[in-house]
Amino acid sequence: MNKKQLIAKLSGKLNMSKADAERTFDTITSTILDALKGDDNVKIAGFGTYKVAKRKARVGRNPRTGEQIQIGASQKVKFLPAKALKEVFNK
C-alpha cells in the first residue's frame, strides 16, 4: 500500500475529504519525524515503537580488495513491533 492508497482508505473510514485525510496523515508523520529528530522515542500502544539507533564510526573492509576503509558514524530509525502486533501475525 502506498501513501495515496492509505489516504484513500483514511478518507473513506473517517468520512472526510481526501485533502483533509492527506493533511491529517502529513501532520502525523511530520510529528513523528520531529520527535525522532529530537532524540525522542515514539511509542504507539498496540502498534510499536520508533526509535533512533546510533552507530559509531568503525573500520571496515572493501570486499573486493581487502583494503581497510573508514565507515563514518550514522543514525537510522528502528521500528520495534508491539506484542499485540506480533500476535496478529503469529497466531
Say which residues have a Cβ less than 8 Å from residue 86's Cβ, sequence separation at least 6.
none
Rounded to an integer, what distance in angstroms lies between the CA atom of residue 49 and that of residue 69? 33
Residue 34 confidence class, pLDDT cut points 50, 70, 90: very high
What number is the average pLDDT over the span 54-69? 94
Q: Say how many CA atoms lie within 13 Å of 42 toward its Cβ.
A: 17
41-91 — its CATH code? 4.10.520.10
Residue 91 confidence class, pLDDT cut points 50, 70, 90: confident
